[in-house]
Amino acid sequence: MDSIIVKGNGPLNGDIPIAGAKNACLTLMPATLLSEEPLTLTNAPRLSDIRTMTQLLQSLGAEVTSLQDGQVLAMSSHDLTSQRAEYDIVRKMRASILVLGPLLARYGYAEVSLPGGCAIGARPVDLHLKALEAMGAELDLRDGYVHAKAPSGGLRGGVVDFAFASVGATENALLAATLAKGTTVLNNAAREPEIVDLADCLRKMGAQIDGDGTSTITIQGVDRLGGATHRVVTDRIELGTYMLAPAICGGEVTCLGGRLSLVESFVEKLELAGVSVTETDKGLTVARKNGRIKAVDVTTEPFPGFPTDLQAQMMALLCTAEGTSVLEEKIFENRFMHAPELMRMGAQIDVSGGTAKVTGVEKLRGAPVMATDLRASVSLILAGLAAEGETKVSRVYHLDRGYEHVVRKLRNVGAEIERVKGE
């Protein structure tokens, strides 16, 4: 397996381009299943997860063509050959479950394997299923698959009351409801920018959607959807990750394409820690103020709160802060697996249940560490950028799921980093 070797090399300076959002693109791609007409996505990130979703759509009979070095995805589902999403593909990625709603809405039947993904908690799909049941779907879970059948005449509008604001379940319900007969109301819906981006794309295809970005979304079903061309929104998690690089190492970096509206709660914590963030026409310029980073407390919450997908990276920053920080993880119950690896580098972290207490040290030390999931992998790279000596991060295949050209982007702003092929 490949590894990434990082050496602490002082301040970082320059520009880092931010890609389109992985989580938005993975939600937008299944929208092609709702229409016979072409759907084209621009600003697509070039990631292994995108290739996995491409493989899944193609297995159903969709045409997916990658153009302009992978940044444009031209898709067509005019003649699907299957409504069964096989385990061998679905197991690789959680977002695969998002084909369920579109297949059921358009064809009235779907078989989708229960999904896989990073090992960061149970993340059950029950909310997805309850939402579809509220639209009249009959569901049967057997042999590791969800067997879903719409009532005669197709899905019908209904009221969906989410027990909590699940992003994936909101997306699946939104996709399905566009072709349901009548009006569907999603209560306690997730408010993430990726959901707003999905709604924008679906409206271009002819869907009637109101309230996206709020906790109540209303969808008036239509008989058919058309084609569209849509630009994928900027990846706020990649944005926040690279904003932390100069915060940890010093220097000044502009994250091209970044917008404050995508990361407001995250920026609030950075500024409390002693990091300057300025919005310009180019993006967000980040610089660490004079002196050592200050400790801050962080609690992960659904958008617009602090993102769980930036918790590991924020912990890397706080490992060298002045004072003690408390990080509380309220989204996923098993998301501190990076803490023992950071402790190998000299960090002082005490984990108890869903809370981690981080007492800052003056300097981390390079060490061999192992990535346990996507965000943990990049947190270890960030820690290595500011550590004394060399850090070797193993199992970086996780990284390829969510960050394109991470070595190139960091090297271009002065980092000493390389990827080493495994034997």
pLDDT tens-place string over residues 333-369 = 678 999 999 999 999 999 999 999 999 999 999 999 9
Which parts are annotated binding residues? 22-23, 94, 123-127, 309, 331
Beta strand residue intervals within 293-389, DSSP E: 298-299, 324-328, 348-352, 355-359, 368-370
Calculate mean pLDDT across residues 365-385. 93
Q: Of 231, 257, 292, which residue constitutes the final position of a domain?
A: 231
Calculate mean pLDDT across residues 15-27. 97
In terms of domains, do 29 and 169 share one? yes
Calculate mean pLDDT across residues 65-76. 96
Which parts are annotated binding residues for UDP-N-acetyl-alpha-D-glucosamine? 94, 123-127, 309, 331
Which parts are annotated binding residues for phosphoenolpyruvate? 22-23
Strand order across the beta sheet in which 355-359 lies: 298-299, 324-328, 355-359, 348-352
Give the dihedral of Cα atoms 51, 52, 57, 61; nearest 10 deg.
90
In terms of domains, do 26 and 171 share one? yes
In terms of domains, do 206 and 277 share one? no
Q: What is the pLDDT of residue 119?
A: 40
In terms of domains, do 217 and 300 share one? no
Q: Among residues of the chain, what percentage have pLDDT more than 90?
A: 87
In terms of domains, do 387 and 401 share one? yes
In terms of domains, do 239 and 109 share one? no
In terms of domains, do 159 and 287 share one? no
Query: Which element (helix H / strand E) includes 384?
Result: helix 374-386
Alpha carbons 277 and 280: distance in angstroms, whole number? 10
Beta strand residue intervals within 311-373, DSSP E: 324-328, 348-352, 355-359, 368-370
Q: Based on the structure, what is the number of domains in the chain?
A: 2
In terms of domains, do 298 and 336 share one? yes
Residue 291, pLDDT > 90, answer: no
In terms of domains, do 171 and 285 share one? no
Q: What is the pLDDT of residue 356?
A: 97
In terms of domains, do 9 and 38 share one? no
CATH code, domain carrying 134: 3.65.10.10
Residue 58 is part of which domain span? Answer: 22-231
In terms of domains, do 71 and 213 share one? yes
293 secondary structure, DSSP code: P
Residue 124, pLDDT > 70, answer: no
In terms of domains, do 216 and 249 share one? no
Residue 123, pLDDT > 90, answer: no
Could you list the active site residues?
118
* pTM, full prediction: 0.92
Q: Of 231, 256, 284, which residue constitutes the final position of a domain?
A: 231
Q: Report long-range pairs for 131-134 (Cβ below 8 Å, ≥24 apart).
A: 131/160, 131/162, 131/169, 131/172, 131/173, 131/176, 131/186, 132/100, 132/101, 132/104, 132/172, 132/173, 132/176, 134/158, 134/159, 134/160, 134/184
Alpha carbons 280 and 221: distance in angstroms, whole number? 40
Q: Of 174, 205, 231, which residue constitutes the final position of a domain?
A: 231
